[in-house]
Structure 1
Amino acid sequence: MSRHRPDTLEHSPLGRESAYPERYDARLLYPIPRAANRAPLGIEEGKLPFIGEDEWHAFEVSWLNARGKPLVAVARFRLPAESPNLIESKSWKLYLNGFNQTRFESLEQVIALLERDLAQAAGAPVTVELFGVDDEALAACRLPGECLDELDVEIDDYTPSAEYLRVGEEIVEETLYSHLLKSNCPVTGQPDWGSVLIRYRGPKLEREGLLRYLIGYRQHQDFHEHCVEHIFTDLMARARPERLLVLARYVRRGGLDISPWRATPGECPPESLRLARQ
């Protein structure tokens, strides 16, 4: 098998007992093609209806300097939504663990190696930033906009249904969010908890229906990135907003968190946010 050839999930490290490496090995990264999950949403490769990124934070990053002294950092990675592959999270963690007992001459060498390996796996350029653990850029903040979570709604359906998405005639520009997002890993079934933000201009979304729709992902099995794309495509089809941004901030699991966002072309990307649960 070639170094970064996408393969089936049956051959991935996900859901398997794994020995954690002590030396650097780029072959541990496991890419997964996005196309198979996008096809059911009517999304064609090369004709994406959105722009966006997958932003990852890694909180368990360490390596040795030239004298063997350990250094630690928090890493921020950004993969473009147009990359043909996402990278399976457990393989990413195993790959990063390979840095723990590997010596590097400089911080710049670590960043260059990460950018090279991750770009080869993703099939597109990946940006890497390393922060000290006390860096103010990592401070937790709150989502902007209006929270939907206090709405008193009755729920008996925990699968996503676009039928709940309804709009009125009034044209508005607003930002809404919920901390009640939950989906499940498509292989292990482990829960993935998160918060989701929706910023749009268009016919006003009926709030109770929107919250029911978002809670509908509670038993849905899919990767974080595809859940966000599912929400984006459903909102575009049902509400037809002029502008739309969908951003999810998933809770850290295994030392990694992921925050995908998708938006209509021309929409400004959100500032980097970290929530208390991350």
Structure 2
Amino acid sequence: MNQHPADDSPLGKSSAYVSVYTPSLLFPISRLPKWRELGLNPDDLPFSGADVWNCYELSWLTPSGKPEIAAAEFVFPITAQRIVESKSFKLYLNSFNQTVFRDRHEVLRTLESDLSVAAQGPVMVKLLTMDQLYRKGMVELPGECLDDLQVDIDQYQYNPDLLLLAPAARRIRETLYTHLFKSNCPVTGQPDWGSVVISYAGATVDRKSLLRYLLSFRQQADFHEQCVERIFTDLYSLLGGRCELTVYARYVRRGGLDINPYRSTEPGPADNFRLARQ
């Protein structure tokens, strides 16, 4: 059995929580093997995008010894060659807890520098005060929800053959979403819950087939980023190369972090909003 790239990470293992700044805790994983598995050429990807992480458990000490807290937004561009394994990211952030920084600017620059080195690409970081976080509020997803469709589901193993175009499909532009999405961590088997938004312009996708397909990820063992790339490549193949397509997953927070991969044929940044489950 092939070893998973994260098997050497702290994921699924008992870990000591280090509370003094330790950048070596970060465990990067190359994107390339999964791209090859999906038939993607890193020099000619069919999508642009980013992985947007939100952190709600960041704290450090000021020179007077007083603790500070912040929420943080991390944007890993698709051009970054590596992702960061999530538990190692949490352990790294925890290592700020008893570390003195001169000010918020030093915290920000330290995060950007360490994460950019780990990801092998420029990671953008934004720190939010509690007032700023409160003002951002929560939103509802755009488009039409698939969750009330009356469908029989009997496949919970990933199956791209479930995806179908509607009979006599005409060209359409629409946004659809589901809150029923679930996949599993490929190392620990723990469930990863999320909401998935799909916006496209192209031949009409049969909505019931789309929901069946998305629910077939229920026992799929992949990281968040890889699930979204599977969904994108399968839909892109179904719709054809002339389509416009965006797939955006907003995963439920675990351990103070939520991960939100965004893949799109259209250039531009992902809108980082917060859902009720985040």
Q: TM-score, normalising length from structure 2?
A: 0.95
Correspondence 1:145-184 to 2 at 5 A: 145-168=143-166, 169-184=169-184
Matches of 1:234 and 1:82 in 2, distance apart?
21
Which range moved further: 152-161 or 183-192?
Answer: 152-161
1:83 counterpart residue number: 80
The separation in 2 between residues aligned to 1:111 and 1:204, in whole angstroms, is 44
Contact 1:157–1:216 (Cα < 8 Å) also in 2: yes
SS of residue matched to 1:205: coil
Give the unaligned 5+ runs of structure 1.
1-6
**Equivalent position amino acid for 1:271 in 2:** D
2:109 maps to what in 1? Answer: 112
Asked if 1:23 is matched to 2:24, the reply is no
Provide, for residues 216-255 of structure 1, a one-character-per-residue CA deviation record: whole Å limited to 9, x for no partner: 1000000000000000000000122620000000000011
Mapped partners of 1:166, 1:181: distance in 2: 19
Taking the aligned partners of 1:64 and 1:88, their CA distance within structure 2 comes to 26
Whole-angstrom CA distance in 2 between matches of 1:199 and 1:83: 24
Whether 2:92 is the aligned partner of 1:95: answer yes
Identify if the C-alpha distance between structure 1 residues 269 and 165 changes in structure 2 by more than 3 Å, giving closer, same or farther: farther
In the TM superposition, structure 1's runs of 4+ consecutive aligned residues that sit over 3 Å from their partners are 266-270
SS in structure 2 at match of 1:54: strand
**Aligned partners of 1:238, 1:49: CA distance in 2, in Å?**
14
Counterpart position of 1:3:
none
Letter in 2 for 1:164: L
Residue in 1 aligned with 2:246? 245
**Could you tell me which amino acid in structure 1 is paired with residue 176 of structure 2?**
L
2: CA distance, partners of 1:268 / 1:205 = 24
CA deviation after TM superposition for structure 1 residue 269, in Å: 3.6
CA drift of 1:162 comes to 1.7
Aligned match of 1:256? 257
User: 1:270 deviation in Å?
Assistant: 3.5
Contact 2:83 2:119 in 1 (8 A): yes
CA distance in 2, matches of 1:267, 1:43: 18
Q: Aligned AA for 1:165?
A: L
What's the offset of the Cα at 1:133? 2.0
Distance in 2 between residues matched to 1:126 and 1:268, nearest whole Å: 16
Contact 1:52 1:81 (8 Å CA) reproduced: yes
For 2:131, what is the secondary structure of its paired residue?
A: coil
Preserved CA contact (<8 Å) 1:244 1:267? no
- Pair 1:32-2:29 in alignment: yes
Q: Which residue of 2 aligns with 1:126?
A: 123
For 2:97, what is the secondary structure of its paired residue? coil
Show CA shifts across 1:187-233 (max 9, x none): 00000000000001000110000000000100000000000000000
Match of 1:4 in 2: none
Instruction: Return the offset for 1:149.
Output: 0.1
The answer (yes or no) to whether the contact 1:171–1:202 under 8 Å persists in 2 is yes
1:245–1:267 Cα contact (<8 Å) kept: no
Q: 1:50 maps to which residue?
A: 47
Counterpart in 1 of 2:208? 208
RMSD between superposed Cα atoms in Å: 1.3
Identify which range, 237-246 or 81-90, moves more after superposition. 237-246
Residue identity matched to 1:194? G
Number of matched residues? 271
The correspondence for 2:11, drawn from 11, 14, 20, is 14
Report the TM-score, using the length of structure 1 for normalisation: 0.95
Aligned to 1:11, the other structure's residue is in SS state coil
Shift of 1:267: 4.2
* Deviation of the 1:160 alpha carbon: 2.0
Q: How far apart in 1 are the matches of 2:179 and 2:46?
A: 26
Alpha-carbon distance in structure 2 between the residues aligned to 1:270 and 1:54? 9
Q: Among the aligned pairs, what percent are the same residue?
A: 51
One-letter code aligned to 2:12: G
